[in-house]
Amino acid sequence: MTITKYNGRELYESIGRPKTIVAPMVDQSELAWRILSRRYGAELCYTPMYHARLFATDEKYRKRMWSSLDGDEKVDRPLIVQFCANDPEYLLKAAQLVEDKCDAVDLNLGCPQGIAKKGKYGAFLMDDWELVHKLILNLHENLKIPVTAKIRVYDEWEKSLEYAKMVLDAGAQFITIHGRTRDMKGQATGLANWEILKYLRENLGEDQVFFANGNILYANDLKRCSELIGCDAVMSAEGNLYNPGVFWTKDDNIDKQFARVDKMLREYFEIVKECESHASRTAMKAHFFKILHAFLVKHPELRPIIGQTSVHESFEKWDEVVQKVERIVEEIYERPDIKEVDVIRDGPIQSWGGFYKEIPYWRCQPYFRTVNGEKQNTRTLKVAATKDTDKDIKDKDIKDKEAKEDIKDKDDIKDNKRRLEEVSSSNKKMAL
């Protein structure tokens, strides 16, 4: 098959102008998950982040990560394969092994984890622009297919813009920008800054293909993000990981946007059995836990059952786990009030422009970290690339708390005054 090496907008058009994208996630955006996500509205998928040197030199590693169905024209396209790297030649060799089975190769410049710092790749290449340029340029000049890149922002908007321009000048045809800084991870994740993404979009040229990443909780966030930033498409990592229905925008079908966990689990499990992918099999347990994260809070008895079942256990054994979930959910749907409780409710508009939803625990839904004993969706979060510091956020929390206490004190005073007036009036009547 003849491969045409498209540039930028041509490449975007050639893969169908996708609007919804499954992010590259370490060991989590593997083949089975991509197949599932496409059924729920994902129009473009990235592979997990592969280690370029290992992929190029270690056949055992490569076979664990990549199967004959990865990149298959019928089940796994359009597809972008992502690598982390710090050596231009190893990166090129790895990319050449997959260039016939994907639409582009992406360089990971956004991974903020400690292992990336130790290995000097991902977001920790933000300190070495010269190396970043060499990595991208070498692919651009020697690969049969295009190269793309995924980056994070700096606190400084101008520096973020210069960095993005350098990445594009080196040869990246698409750019995906995660609206968080390198330090924002785990307990300090906070909120992505859509305003800086809008600024970057507006200053990178009208024809530049631009994907936005960060803050996608529900399907309605996709439109909000796209309209504010003006991006070509929206990428989701964690949102998709806990609920593949986050990409469903064709209608408001509750069973697509917030599928029952028993239905989603069964559908995903059947895909894993069919695709014969080592990476998909080993990722299965992690996906079970994420699909069921809210459900397990109400049914913790399932947690040790899943945890103690090896990923190498027979499919028959895993099918028993799926059946346990199915039986519990079926019992829920036998409740006489199921129509009243099986609904999605929108919460009030938040300071960041969106809102949280109340979703029954038996349906797929976003995950919110607990920070200092408080759920992220109940506290003020730091926004990336703003002047707000952790101290500012803490001070605001204290002021908000003091304001609430002040209101409560004033209400108590009013109540006490009213009671005293009532007692006084009662005493006067008795005296008469």
In the block, which residue shows the tokens 């506290």?
379
Distance CA 353, CA 272 (A): 38
Q: Are 243 and 258 in contact (CB under 8 A)?
A: yes
**Overall average pLDDT of the 124-140 stretch:** 97
In the block, which residue shows the tokens 């190269």?
147
Q: Which of 111, 225, 231, 275 is catalytic?
A: 111
Distance CA 201, CA 204 (A): 6
Q: What is the DSSP letter of 144?
A: S
Q: In this predicted structure, what is the pLDDT of residue 50? A: 97
DSSP string covering 89-116, please? HHHHHHHHTTTTSSSEEEEEE---SHHH
Q: Are 275 and 32 in contact (CB under 8 A)?
A: yes
Asked if residue 392 has pLDDT above 50, the reply is no
Q: In this predicted structure, what is the pLDDT of residue 234? A: 98
The H or E element spanning position 138 is helix 129-142
Distance CA 50, CA 121 (A): 11
3-state secondary structure 145-210: CCEEEEEECCCCHHHHHHHHHHHHHCCCCEEEEECCCCCCCHHHCCECCHHHHHHHHHHCCCCCEE
The H or E element spanning position 414 is helix 390-431
| Residue 231: active-site member | no
Distance CA 261, CA 243 (A): 9
- Angle at which helix 157-169 crosses helix 194-203, to 10 degrees, equals 50
Q: Are 153 and 385 in contact (CB under 8 A)?
A: yes
Q: Which tokens in the block code for residue 271?
A: 């895909």
Reply yes or no: is the peptide bond before residue 366 cis, omega within 30 of 0. Answer: no
Domain 8-252, classified CATH 3.20.20.70, yes or no: yes
Q: Which of 227, 233, 228 is nearest to 208 (CA)?
A: 233
Instruction: Tell me how far the alpha carbon of residue 214 is from its chain's centroid.
Output: 7
Overall pTM surpassing 0.75 (yes/no): yes
In the block, which residue shows the tokens 């109400």?
298
Q: Are 49 and 265 in contact (CB under 8 A)?
A: no
Count other C-beta atoms under 10 Å from residue 115's C-beta.
12
Asked if residue 1 has pLDDT above 90, the reply is no
**Overall average pLDDT of the 145-150 stretch:** 98
How many helices (H) does the chain have, and how many strands (E)? 19, 12
Distance CA 25, CA 47 (A): 7
Pick the more confident residue, 88 or 376.
88
From the CA atom positions of the chain, what is the Rg in Å? 25
pLDDT tens profile 246-285: 999 999 999 999 999 999 999 999 999 999 899 999 999 9
Q: Which residues contact 59 (CB under 8 A, 6 or more apart)?
A: none
Distance CA 267, CA 245 (A): 13
pLDDT tens profile 35-89: 999 999 999 999 999 999 999 999 999 999 999 999 999 999 999 999 999 999 9
- SS3 (DSSP) at 245: helix
Asked if residue 124 has pLDDT above 60, the reply is yes
Q: Which of 353, 364, 390, 104 is nearest to 238 (CA)?
A: 364
**Overall average pLDDT of the 368-395 stretch:** 62
pLDDT tier for residue 130 given thresholds of 50, 70 and 90: very high
